[in-house]
């Protein structure tokens, strides 16, 4: 009698790692998993209904019902049985590693990866994996099962995320999380919520997103748009194949970002940073399902959000974060082929480098910004590129190049015909240009000329740009100190400190303190003691 062939006790590696098997595991689609396994194996080692049932501890009839999609598995215990019976790594199902897995893989499980569900994901997500975080998002068996089953109550979802997002946090609760790490954690969270929301309807998703406004991308826009637009966001996030991103939604993000820019102009960076980062997250999430016709505009919105996050970080003296966001903004602007935005981002990068006392790098960025700006019809942008170049030249002691750039900026400003200009450099006008002249002459050790320009700028600066007014006041104070006009310098510095007291600009506060430190030779005079009293009352000492 012929010996009966021994049936395998686990899936062959080629079948286990087949893309359709991996997909079915990620989706907890056990019916599809069994059908694919059955189709991919052949006699005499075919995984029949009977053999699958025997390995997984399921009845033949139950296996058949799963294969006909008559039932859908939602119980963690059954998923564990299937993973163990077929020897499929627990990670494929969002479970912790199974007891039989090698010890090298028995560390904490990574978040289930849903990127394979979107053919464009690998091209659109540019953030590289970063491993400085304390840990990756860890899902227990219960939470993984919960995440993949139909909608739960918002309170339950909040409890789940509060528990398991702890693994994304630094070990020190007071430690700063770098923006690159933050982006990585956010991408993991979006993948988690995307998988969980796969079987939800859009109203259920919207309800939960409102409750979890701190955790989801859509929350950044929920309070800024009407109910119809809220449903539009929920539709795109929950059922991207049926509901597509449209121009109206992009316009709303642009509107919120514009409001943040004006809020920063008046109140400083801290008032706007959280909202800008939330809008950036929303734009990153929506970009994945953006139709080709809207992709350049969506890329520009995302680029500008990153640029603004960079500017706010810069103004908070968080230079590493600023550099990260600026680099992201530059790459996105170029991908969008948005020449104006590319030039503006390079201007910001020049300003950052010059402020950090790296003037020659500032020159590099400014020259590049100027070349791109010349390819546009945006004359104020061309003027602003020359302006930042002048600052870099001045910081490097290149007087002739600095003055030439200042003259180029001034000439370009006289050619601006539209008084209601509202492009990327909407803030740049004659008053700010004159203030830059003051800064440059201070760098060139010409305090009297600097004071003259500072006085002119304070007469023409738009008072709604409080930080610009305060910085110009500080510069005038510094010029007076260098001219040994201490009485006036002390009064000016106190006025700047009053503005800094309700503006969160760390750069501004740092400048106030720096100029005051330069007045130590007069610290025992009545005017300087009065200045110190004012600064103490503003909380600046």
Q: Do the domain assignments include residue 59?
A: yes
Nearest to 283 by CA among 296, 301, 304, 295: 301
Q: What pLDDT is stored for residue 135 in this prediction?
A: 39
Q: CB-based contacts of 523: which residues, under 8 Å, 6+ apart?
A: 529, 532
Q: What pLDDT is stored for residue 141 in this prediction?
A: 42
- Mean pLDDT for all residues in the chain: 80
Q: Do the domain assignments include residue 64?
A: yes
| Burial track 436-462 (b if 16+ CB lie within 10 A, e otherwise) | bbbbbbbbbebbeebbbbbebbbeebe
Is residue 18 packed enough to be buried (19+ CB in 10 Å), middle (13-18) or exposed (0-12)?
middle
Please report, for residues 86, 96, 162, 192, the alpha-carbon distance to residue 139 in angstroms, rounded to integers and kept in the order given: 21, 7, 12, 10
Please report, for residues 31, 432, 485, 487, 510, the alpha-carbon distance to residue 480 in angstroms, rounded to integers and kept in the order given: 80, 20, 5, 9, 18
> What single string gives the DSSP state of each residue in 112-159?
PP-GGG-TTHHHH--PPP---SS------HHHHHHHHSSP--HHHHHH
The DSSP letter of residue 505 is: -
Taking every pair of Cα atoms in the chain, the longest distance, rounded to a whole number of angstroms, is 114
Judged against a pLDDT cut of 50, whether residue 492 lies above it is answered with: yes
Query: Residue 371 is encoded by which pair of tokens?
Result: 């070349």
pLDDT in tens, 152-184: 444 444 444 544 454 445 545 445 557 776 676
Judged against a pLDDT cut of 70, whether residue 131 lies above it is answered with: no
Distance CA 140, CA 167 (A): 12
C-alpha dihedral (36, 52, 87, 116), degrees to nearest 10: 20
Q: What domain count does the chain have?
A: 1
pLDDT in tens, 33-63: 999 999 999 888 899 999 999 899 888 888 9
Query: Residue 69 is encoded by which pair of tokens?
Result: 């999609």
Distance CA 509, CA 274 (A): 21
pLDDT in tens, 414-456: 887 665 565 899 999 999 999 999 999 999 999 999 999 999 9
Neighbouring C-alpha atoms within 13 Å toward the C-beta of 470: 29
- The separation between CA 441 and the C-alpha centre of its own chain, rounded to angstroms, equals 37
Judged against a pLDDT cut of 80, whether residue 264 lies above it is answered with: yes
CB 343 within 8 A of CB 376: yes
Q: Do the domain assignments include residue 30?
A: yes
CB 505 within 8 A of CB 269: yes
- Residue 28's SS3 state is coil
Helices then strands, each counted (H, E), the chain: 27, 0
Whole domain around residue 61: which residue ranges? 13-94
Q: Name the pLDDT band for 120 (thresholds 50, 70, 90).
A: very low
Q: What pLDDT is stored for residue 27 in this prediction?
A: 83
pTM over 0.75: no
Judged against a pLDDT cut of 90, whether residue 490 lies above it is answered with: yes
Q: What pLDDT is stored for residue 415 in this prediction?
A: 85
CB 332 within 8 A of CB 297: no
Q: Do the domain assignments include residue 50?
A: yes
Is residue 173 packed enough to be buried (19+ CB in 10 Å), middle (13-18) or exposed (0-12)?
exposed
Distance CA 149, CA 199 (A): 8
Q: What pLDDT is stored for residue 101 in this prediction?
A: 86
Backbone angles phi, psi at 338, to 5 degrees: -95, 95
**Residue count of the chain:** 541
Quick one: average pLDDT of 524-541? 92
Q: What percent of the chain has pLDDT over 70?
A: 72
Proportion of the chain in helix, strand, coil states, percent, rounded to 5: 70, 0, 30
Q: What pLDDT is stored for residue 505 in this prediction?
A: 93
Q: Do the domain assignments include residue 176?
A: no
Quick one: average pLDDT of 122-149? 39
Q: For the domain that residue 47 is a member of, what is the CATH number? A: 1.10.260
Nearest to 268 by CA among 431, 134, 464, 114: 464
Q: Do the domain assignments include residue 48?
A: yes
Judged against a pLDDT cut of 60, whether residue 457 lies above it is answered with: yes
Backbone angles phi, psi at 398, to 5 degrees: -90, 85
Nearest to 294 by CA among 329, 249, 238, 334: 249
Q: Do the domain assignments include residue 342?
A: no
Q: What pLDDT is stored for residue 417 in this prediction?
A: 62
Q: What pLDDT is stored for residue 146 in this prediction?
A: 41
CB 143 within 8 A of CB 160: yes
Q: Name the pLDDT band for 513 (thresholds 50, 70, 90).
A: very high
Q: Name the pLDDT band for 191 (thresholds 50, 70, 90).
A: low
Distance CA 322, CA 511 (A): 19
Q: Name the pLDDT band for 390 (thresholds 50, 70, 90).
A: very high
Q: 41-45, 89-93, 194-198, 355-359: which has the minimum mean pLDDT? A: 194-198
Distance CA 248, CA 266 (A): 27
Q: Do the domain assignments include residue 250?
A: no
Judged against a pLDDT cut of 70, whether residue 202 lies above it is answered with: no
């Amino acid at each position: 009698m012929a010996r009966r062939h021994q049936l395998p006790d686990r899936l062959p590696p080629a079948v286990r790692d087949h893309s359709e098997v991996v997909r079915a595991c990620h989706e907890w689609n056990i019916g599809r998993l069994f059908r694919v396994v059955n189709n991919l194996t052949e006699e005499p080692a075919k995984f029949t209904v009977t053999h699958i049932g025997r390995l997984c501890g399921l009845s033949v009839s139950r296996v058949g019902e799963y294969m006909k999609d008559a039932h859908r598995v939602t119980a963690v215990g059954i998923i564990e049985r299937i993973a163990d019976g077929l020897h499929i790594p627990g990670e494929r199902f969002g479970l912790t590693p199974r007891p039989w897995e090698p010890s090298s893989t028995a560390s904490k499980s990574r978040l289930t990866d849903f990127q394979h569900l979107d053919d464009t994901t690998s091209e659109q997500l540019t953030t590289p994996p970063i491993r400085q975080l304390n840990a990756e998002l860890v899902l227990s068996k219960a939470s993984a099962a919960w995440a993949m089953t139909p909608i739960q109550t918002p309170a339950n979802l909040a409890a789940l995320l509060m528990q398991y997002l702890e693994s994304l946090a630094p070990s020190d609760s007071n430690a700063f999380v770098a923006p690159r790490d933050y982006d990585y954690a956010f991408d993991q969270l979006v993948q988690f919520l995307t998988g969980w929301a796969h079987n939800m309807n859009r109203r259920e998703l919207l309800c939960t997103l409102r409750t979890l406004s701190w955790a989801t991308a859509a929350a950044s826009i929920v309070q800024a748009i009407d109910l119809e637009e809220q449903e539009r966001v929920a539709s795109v996030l929950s059922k991207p194949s049926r509901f597509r991103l449209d121009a109206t939604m992009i316009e709303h993000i642009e509107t919120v970002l514009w409001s943040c820019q004006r809020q920063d102009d008046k109140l400083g960076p801290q008032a706007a940073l959280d909202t800008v980062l939330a809008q950036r997250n929303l734009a990153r999430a929506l970009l994945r399902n953006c139709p080709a016709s809207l992709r350049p505009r969506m890329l520009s919105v995302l680029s500008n959000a990153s640029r603004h996050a960079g500017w706010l970080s810069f103004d908070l003296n968080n230079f590493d974060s600023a550099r990260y966001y600026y680099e992201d903004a530059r790459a996105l602007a170029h991908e969008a082929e948005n020449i104006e935005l590319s030039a503006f981002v390079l201007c910001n990068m020049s300003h950052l480098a010059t402020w950090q006392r790296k003037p020659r790098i500032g020159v590099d960025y400014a020259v590049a910004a100027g070349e791109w700006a010349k390819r546009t019809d945006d004359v104020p942008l061309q003027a602003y590129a020359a302006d930042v170049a002048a600052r870099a030249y001045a910081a490097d002691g290149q007087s002739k190049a600095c003055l030439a750039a200042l003259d180029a900026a001034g000439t370009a400003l006289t050619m601006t015909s539209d008084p209601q200009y509202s492009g990327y450099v909407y803030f740049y006008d004659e008053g700010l240009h004159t203030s830059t002249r003051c800064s440059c002459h201070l760098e060139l050790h010409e305090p009297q000329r600097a004071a003259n320009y500072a006085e002119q700028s304070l007469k023409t600066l738009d008072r709604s740009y409080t930080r610009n007014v305060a910085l110009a006041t500080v510069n005038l104070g510094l010029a007076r100190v260098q001219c040994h006009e201490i009485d006036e310098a002390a009064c000016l510095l106190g006025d700047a400190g009053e503005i800094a007291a309700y503006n969160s600009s760390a750069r501004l506060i740092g400048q106030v303190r720096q100029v005051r430190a330069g007045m130590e030779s007069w610290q025992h005079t009545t005017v300087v003691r009065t200045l110190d009293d004012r600064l103490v009352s503003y909380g600046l000492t």
